[in-house]
Amino acid sequence: MTLARRTFLKGIIATGGTMALGTSLLPSTVKAKTAGWPKLAFEATSVEEVMMALFEGGEAKETDKITIKAPDIAENGAVVPVEITANLPKVKSITILVDENPVPLIGQFHLADNAEGWVKTRIKMDGTSKVIAVVKADGKLYTASRKIVVTKGGCGGG
Query: Global pTM?
Result: 0.75
In this predicted structure, what is the pLDDT of residue 6?
Answer: 63
Q: pLDDT tens across 25-58, in order? A: 445 555 445 556 778 888 999 999 999 999 997 8
Strand 140-150, strand 73-74: pairing:
parallel
Question: What residues form DSSP beta bridges with 86?
Answer: 66
Which residues lie closer than 8 Å to 133 by C-beta, 6 or more apart?
Answer: 66, 68, 84, 86, 94, 95, 96, 97, 143, 144, 145
Contact 127, 157 (CB under 8 A): yes
In this predicted structure, what is the pLDDT of residue 22?
Answer: 47
In this predicted structure, what is the pLDDT of residue 16?
Answer: 52
Contact 76, 155 (CB under 8 A): no
Taking 70 as the pLDDT cut, the residues of the chain under it are 1-36, 153-158
Contact 37, 30 (CB under 8 A): no
Strand 80-86, strand 66-69: pairing:
antiparallel
Cα–Cα distance between 53 and 51 in angstroms, integer? 6
Contact 94, 111 (CB under 8 A): yes
The structural domains of the chain, ordered by start, are 57-150 (2.60.40.2470)
In this predicted structure, what is the pLDDT of residue 10?
Answer: 61
In this predicted structure, what is the pLDDT of residue 106?
Answer: 95
